[in-house]
Structure 1
Amino acid sequence: MTTPTPHPPGSAGGTRTRSRRGPVVGLATVAALLLSACTGVTYGETQLPAPKVTSSTPAAPATPVTCTSPTQSYDPLPSLPASSDITDRTVRTILQRGHLVVGVSADTYLFGARDPFTSRIEGFDIDIARAVAASLLGDASKVQFRVITAADRIDVLKNREVDMVARNMTMTCSRWQEIAFSAEYYHSGQKLLVAKDPSGKVPSTTLEDLAGKKVCAPRGTSTLEKLRSVQGVEAVPAADHTGCLVLFQQGKADAITGDDTVLAGLAAQDPYTVVTSAPPMTDEPYGLGFHRDDVYLVRYVNRVLADLKADGRWKAIYNRWLADTLGPAPAPPVGVHGRAAR
């Protein structure tokens, strides 16, 4: 068996010795198969099928939502109330059921991914969801995870199949028309993954620096469309970001672009890659998703998030999952509140 060696020095994504990286390609490919096999599966502490949540309010005609700032959410509760003092019907349903039902990813490494050895779903989003369960139900294990795709996120909330979605979802005004969001809990942005410099220096490579190079992005994404608009860069499409990593390892792509959260997971799978230090090309504020009528639950969770940010737990969660690939925890995003209830 040969031993993988670091890429030789050169420009970002330059020529690399691929024949000696077989073990890394194999790991990424196996990980891709294991993670992709999770889609549509429900995992939880009790391993029960995710129940459909009973509506806490009568169905009402959809009304337009005024939105001038997609990151503006409802005011947090002044403090966390005792369970016995909560009268909101949605929260009472959760308390009586005994666990929180959360829609998550199982294939976003470091944010929400299934550990192939333990079958447990782990990551930044998962720890945030457990913090909500711990506050609401007194036990971080009282949460049931339902694995969903990115395309499922809105529908499972509108149909009340989950109580909350924690799946790296960008807050937008158009989405506020259909669902509600917590305050921003993570700020992401589109960045680049390139070959690691053997010196250990993190490159500040930008898309414009990659003229004449091949850059990969998943098909059917706004990321790929943006990539195609950059003059001199050859866009290389793949089915998903893990597919991009395989192409990168095979020498068919010189760099990969996507949200820094996704790229951090790829870098963790391939020790010869690094996320560049260049500023993000886009802003992607992540919010936890809720049914549009569950204003009280959003206000409760906003209190939990505010406390996590204030007492250092948010930074601890960040450092646990993301610091190795994205650097030490930044200041947590400041929650923007004051949205008027519908």
Structure 2
Amino acid sequence: MYAHYADAIKTPQLIRLDDNLFVARFESMKIYSALAAVEQLLAEGTIEPGATLLDSSSGIYAYALALACHKYALHCYIVASKTVDRSLMLQLQILGATVEQVQPMASLKLDQSFRVARIQQLLRDNPRMHWMQQYHDDIHYLGYAPVAEQLRGEFGDAPLSLVGGVGSGCSTGAMAQWLREAGSDLRLLGVQPFGSMSFGAEHLHDPGIIIAGIGSSIAFRNVRHRLYDEMHWVSFEHGVAGCIALLRRHGVFAGLSSGCGFLVAQREAALQPQRRVVLLAADTGHRYAEAVFAQHEHSADIAALQPQFVDDTGALSLPWSAMAWQRRGDPQAQGPDWPPPRTPRRPPHAAN
């Protein structure tokens, strides 16, 4: 029996899609990082019982943090993106979170920058608030150690390829780090939208949307570029096609980042038959019902979609580009050794 709803829904369902292709389907993946971060902060005394935790979110981290605060009787304050829909907003409010939704901006860059500026103002006015910094604090790596253990338990020492959105770096990157520490032979394939600056695509504009949750229009300090073997940039329209194909072929109803990742994962499985390929599906498809799934009659056949491989980010182009990243550093950094290597704090269950 579970002590709290967050514990009950955090574990992903591992589903075989094809001979060597699998999906780890989460209800809401960031519950792992939010719970572990809050547990660690309480254990080390960084926050006290009854504290107010503050962060910015486009959706699933807000839900995760609200659930973590609910479990530990903490106060939650979210500066929410315009992409937070009414269904999620109502859940956050009923869970006890204070939600401040910013006015719609012309771009995700303006939206993210405005939200960060608002957080800084809130911290000046309320210095006892604790900013969770999901985009910057390595503490969010802790939560994904159990997912790595789950994958190791399922696949053992078989060579793996892990496919998923980069986002803040604390999901795909964290799982890759924990798996490699445990001895796994792992290829990590990251997915980004056009317009994201984390891997050098900020000069391109997707006429659809920049896909919330896996892209960065501002610098995310906890992205560890040297963990990634291959990068894929996928347009909104291709992501729509991937979402609908994932549901139509396999019955998996998942969000837009999962649709982008499905294109990459099914290609990797065909090219790497000796590997087990695992797609990380971070959330459900409910908030994309109108923008994505309502387009099913007009979506492209993914069998006809292939990436254009490039040698430099300056050559990236829509609708789907890919690059052998080869665990190189941050393209935005000054100097070859930035960012410095960092080791996340051990999760509480692994602190022996």
TM range (shorter): under 0.3
Decide which structure has greater helix share: 2
TM-score by length of 2: 0.24
